Amino acid sequence: MKSIPRKLLSCCALILLAAASARFSGCGWSQLEQGQVNEQPQESAEVADQIFDGFEMTLTDNGILRGLARASTAEKFGEQQVLKARDLTVLFYTDGGRVRSVLTSRRGIIHTDTGDMEAMDSVVVISADSSRTLHTEHLVWIKRDNRIHGDSSVVVRGPRGEVSGDGFNADVGFEEIDLKNPTGDINVLGHRF
């Protein structure tokens, strides 16, 4: 029986390895022969540095309590300096430490470098006395101003009626609110407009 030269075995092994590699990477043998293999690495899914279950974070500005954020889950992405939260609830406070309003949303992003926050997907803000509600799909809270704003459609309901708009800018208790393109039914001093 003749022995197979070692160089021939090495070449066969390399060819088999290349074929197997091509098979498992999703390209066919004909693509290898024609030089059509995509040599660009595929982007990997974003991976969190840390994952928190039952997340809670105090939001302060120069020692003044501005809010308390809670989420069922939060993922920390250190390079981006963000926390991505699910099932977000935020209590906003007055300077005196009383709850001013409560925000809920399905998702949120807390920017760890600035303390600013975004809420998205079924966002609802309810005043502390439950007399006013704000509904939108996306809003941004700016920590240094302690204000919320958004460019998506918004509906505000209160004791004097319901108003909708294409965006808004408001204090966190939404007592002072500016709406873009407001429409609705408002009761002013007993008269409906």
Does the residue 123 lie in any domain?
A: yes
Range of the domain at 162: 50-192
Q: Flag whether pLDDT at 31 surpasses 80.
A: no
Does the residue 142 lie in any domain?
A: yes
Q: What is the pLDDT of residues 173-187, one digit of tens each?
A: 888 999 999 999 866
Distance, in Å, from the CA atom of 30 to the CA atom of 27, rounded to the nearest integer, reads 8
User: How many domains is the chain built from?
Assistant: 1
Does the residue 151 lie in any domain?
A: yes
The pLDDT value recorded for residue 41 is 42
Does the residue 20 lie in any domain?
A: no
CATH code, domain with 69 = 2.60.450.10
Distance, in Å, from the CA atom of 100 to the CA atom of 120, rounded to the nearest integer, reads 20
Does the residue 141 lie in any domain?
A: yes
Does the residue 91 lie in any domain?
A: yes
The pLDDT value recorded for residue 118 is 97
Does the residue 26 lie in any domain?
A: no
Mean pLDDT value across residues 126-132 = 95
Write down the H helix ranges in 4-141.
Answer: 6-24, 29-34
Q: What is the pLDDT of residues 51-109, one digit of tens each?
A: 999 999 999 888 889 999 999 999 999 888 999 999 999 999 988 899 999 999 999 99
Does the residue 13 lie in any domain?
A: no
Banded pLDDT at 2 (limits 50, 70, 90): low
Residue 15 or 77, more confident: 77
Banded pLDDT at 19 (limits 50, 70, 90): very low
Banded pLDDT at 5 (limits 50, 70, 90): low
